[in-house]
Homo-oligomer: A and B are copies of this chain.
Amino acid sequence: PVNADRIAEDIDALAGITEPGHPWTRRAFSPLFLEGRAYIEARMKAAGLTTRMDAAGNLIGRRAGTKPGLGTILVGSHSDTVPDGGRFDGIAGTIAALEVARSLGDRGIELDHDLEIVDFLAEEVSIFGVSCIGSRGMTGQIPEAWLTRTSGNRTLSQGIAEVGGDPSVLLAQKRPDLAGFLELHIEQGPVLEAENKDIGIVTAIAGITRIEITVEGRADHAGTTPMDRRADALVAASQLVLDIRSRAAEQAKTPGHFAATVGEFRIEPNAANVVPSKVVLLIDGRAEIRSDMEDFLAWIDGEVKTIAADFGVTINAPVRVSDNMPTPGAPVLLETLERACETVGAKHCRMASGAGHDTAWIAKVAPAAMIFVPCKEGRSHCAEEWAENDDIAMGAAVLFEAVRDMDKN
């Protein structure tokens, strides 16, 4: 029911709006980002949608329904990227949503509900150091303190104003009209490709918990200090990294998505001939089932004590830098999406999202769910990120059928 060529044309056009030499970079709040949005807005208008910018800087294209007051079906994703990566991350979902509206128009189908296509502002961690600004902002979930975060000489508040939002009313935003929200996204993982599925119906977006651990040893001379008289922070931190990996791998074998990664790791003084005195490491934990994360947090508290004792270093209580709960997809929408897959003949499965998404924020105020389409080798947030256009078109067709289904129920 959708036009695959039109999807490819738009995704390719947006890929052309990138920092030269840095495919595919279109950072939120940058001139290129605004250029990309101008393209999307023009395509929304060409599809007969009424465009507007909401207070949170989300670009919205609206198609009025036949029964005013019934509520709004919202579909969309984001058009910003991480640095040096993201040809499909966000964009695939934004264009697939637009294609749903175009296909409805092509077929002269009127919905009872209002339909809105959204390009959320700054889903990725932006220059202001936080993510999902648009989806949080649309639903009044931006902490006030964030507005004064700065990047260069701009505050987030100014950044939002510059893209066309209205920070003065941002904190009071509400969307009581939302009847439901759907998002298509590339999987950003290898599962659908490996299992030869067209569509992943997302049962839950994993909770993300970030834990900072500081290992303090003693900076000694690497040449003169006997091996048995050291308090080497790097050696102790290395044991911690290995134990976290083992523990997470065990947890991952039980039902429910689970992952834990040490992605940030800084050592001091980081000098060739000095025994490392300090390592600060950040654990990124993901759990579909909250009790798995709670078990992990309890385990890590004990683990650091064991390592401190074994290696003669000091490790204070792990600091929970952030801790978000898992967000289940709305059960009624999971069924809707399953029916839609059957209708279009898509091979589908249920799976969790290990990554965070705008859907998690909209889900706090309205029924929301998302679908994944496969991406090549699970690569994402890098120049190699790739999704086949036919897979995206299949996903757009699922959205099309699901939106019609939601409209009737």
**Is A286 a contact of B238 with CB atoms below 8 Å?**
no
Flag the segment in A12-20, A36-44, A66-74, A226-234 that touches B.
Answer: A226-234
**Is A263 a contact of B380 with CB atoms below 8 Å?**
no
**Is B238 a contact of A272 with CB atoms below 8 Å?**
no
Min Cβ gap A73→B in Å is: 27
Q: Which residues of chain B are within 8 angstroms of A380 by Cβ–Cβ distance?
A: 221, 224
**Is B228 a contact of A249 with CB atoms below 8 Å?**
yes
Min Cβ gap A262→B in Å is: 6
* CB-nearest residue of chain B to A189: B224
How long is the Cα–Cα vector from A275 to B380 in the complex, in angstroms? Answer: 11
What 1/0 flags go to A241-281 for Cβ under 8 Å of B? 11001001100100000110111111100111111100000
Counting CB contacts under 8 A, is A379 at the interface? yes
Q: Which residues of chain B are within 8 angstroms of A354 by Cβ–Cβ distance?
A: 221-225
Counting CB contacts under 8 A, is A105 at the interface? no
**Is B235 a contact of A242 with CB atoms below 8 Å?**
yes
Q: Which residues of chain B are within 8 angstroms of A187 by Cβ–Cβ distance?
A: 224
**Is A234 a contact of B227 with CB atoms below 8 Å?**
no
Classify the interface of chain A: helix, strand, loop or mixed: mixed
* CB-nearest residue of chain B to A277: B382
Q: Which residues of chain B are within 8 angstroms of A258 by Cβ–Cβ distance?
A: 227
**Is B265 a contact of A270 with CB atoms below 8 Å?**
yes
Min Cβ gap A105→B in Å is: 34
Q: Which residues of chain B are within 8 angstroms of A223 by Cβ–Cβ distance?
A: 188, 206, 208, 259, 284, 286, 353-356
Min Cβ gap A200→B in Å is: 11
Counting CB contacts under 8 A, is A8 at the interface? no
**Is B355 a contact of A210 with CB atoms below 8 Å?**
no
How long is the Cα–Cα vector from A237 to B380 in the complex, in angstroms? Answer: 23
How long is the Cα–Cα vector from A397 to B359 in the complex, in angstroms? Answer: 78
**Is B220 a contact of A378 with CB atoms below 8 Å?**
yes
What 1/0 flags go to A370-409 for Cβ under 8 Å of B? 0000000011111000000000000000000000000000
Counting CB contacts under 8 A, is A148 at the interface? no
Please list 19 pairs of residues, one from A and one from B, whose beta carbons are closer than 8 Å in the complex, sorted by A's number.
A190-B225, A221-B355, A222-B259, A222-B261, A223-B259, A223-B284, A223-B356, A224-B259, A224-B378, A232-B245, A234-B262, A235-B242, A263-B270, A263-B272, A264-B270, A264-B272, A266-B270, A273-B284, A273-B355
Extra pairs beyond A264-B270, A265-B267 (19, CB < 8 Å)? A188-B224, A189-B224, A190-B225, A221-B354, A221-B378, A221-B381, A222-B263, A222-B354, A223-B353, A224-B259, A224-B378, A225-B378, A234-B263, A234-B265, A238-B238, A242-B242, A263-B271, A263-B275, A266-B270
